[in-house]
Amino acid sequence: MQDSSESQDVENSLAADEGSPWLAAKFQQTLDMIYEKYKNVEDGELASYIPELGKANPSNFGICMATTEGEVFTAGDWEQEFTIQSVCKPFAFQMALERHGVEKVLKHVGVEPSGDAFNAIELDERTGRPFNPMVNAGAIAVASLIKANPVEAGIDAFVEKMGKAAGRKLAIDGAVLASETATGNRNRAIAYLLLNSGIIDDAVLETLHQYFAQCSMLVNCKDLAMIGATMANIGTQPVTGERVFDFQLIKHVLAVMFSCGLYNYAGNWAFEVGLPAKSGVSGGICGVVNRQLGIGVYSPKVDAQGNSVRGTLVCKELATHFGLHAFDFSNVGSSFMQWLQ
Ligand code: DON
């Protein structure tokens, strides 16, 4: 059972085939309702272990949903830019898979949920590899695989690819990059553990620069939604029509987002939201409804796991309201977006 009469309204309207403009308005109304419902939630804290992130405005709150047909719905501060942080990780993983193939990449990183914090200084003791590409250890291993010589070329390649998925040119926030570089000793410890274990080569500083720069790329909610929609649209950017991601590899990335994207909350996320997604400590979440839409949410106060408090609430509500959970019995989410066209 859906948990509100409004969700019942949406389902009834789908069944009644009342036409797309009315449904698009209804969809927007629901987004506005969800925004209003959570805009005053004040739980969580700004991440401040990267000092520059502590300067974010805690009241910022934006939501965007983009369909695979290129239709966009927004609420709140959807234009507010923030650094992507860990939301870069699945797309860097995609890039590594495209460049090196599955077999080689899996020699450097596993695909097993760790159940531990994103910044744990650990390897999977059964395999000697980082658990997965969503935790810092795995993401640093992936950064090593996509770095280039000179290092700026590898960073540019990543930013350019992400810009193609977002549908606009993206850039690095130099202040956040400097802040993370100055304070990222935990990641340096992880990188040297990886070097010691033969997971990365000895260009450790270059690998860390690639990783820190990826995390410091500026996006807004619409960018995250469009990047998610590009994944949902099996690799083709919905508006520009450009093929950005190799469609044969997307299933691997979505699977790891589903099982590991929310770190030590991933099991609860799969249970309650049921969507492949990735969170970042700056407060962004990118979700994918396969073949249907991308979701981008931003609010900078995060919980103990480093996941946006309001962002998590919004994703839960959207999934429940529209039946987006991958295993929802009514499977509404796998068909209802077509009604908006
Ligand atoms: O490496 C770090 O700690 C950050 N650049 C990214 C961490 C992050 O976003 C974790 N997500 N919740």
For residue 5, give the 3-state DSSP assignment.
helix
Neighbours of 259 (CB within 10 A): 18
Residues with CB under 6 A from ligand 1: 85-86, 118-119, 136, 180, 187, 215, 279-281, 306
- Which atom from ligand 1 is nearest to the alpha carbon of 85? 9
- pLDDT tens figures, 271-282: 999 999 999 999
Whole-angstrom distance, CA of residue 204 vs CA of residue 110: 20
Residue 3 has pLDDT above 80, yes or no: no
Ligand 1 centroid distance, CA of 325 (Å)? 26
CA distance 187 to 40: 34
Atom of ligand 1 nearest to the CA of 180: 5
Nearest CA to ligand 1 atom 1: 136
Active-site positions read 86, 89, 211, 263, 281
Q: What is the pLDDT of residue 7?
A: 46
How much is the pLDDT for 134?
A: 98
Task: Say what the pTM is.
Answer: 0.93
Q: How far apart are the first and last CA of the chain?
A: 26
Contacts of 223 (CB under 8 A, 6+ apart): 166, 168, 170, 296
**Do 287 and 276 contact (CB within 8 A), yes or no?**
yes
For residue 66, list its beta bridge partners: 72, 294
Ligand 1 mutation target, pool 136, 183, 212, 219, most atoms within 8 A of CB: 136
User: What whole-number distance in Å separates Cα of residue 278 and Cα of residue 286?
Assistant: 5
What are the pLDDT digits (tens) for 213-237? 999 999 999 999 999 999 999 999 9
Determine the pLDDT at residue 120. 97
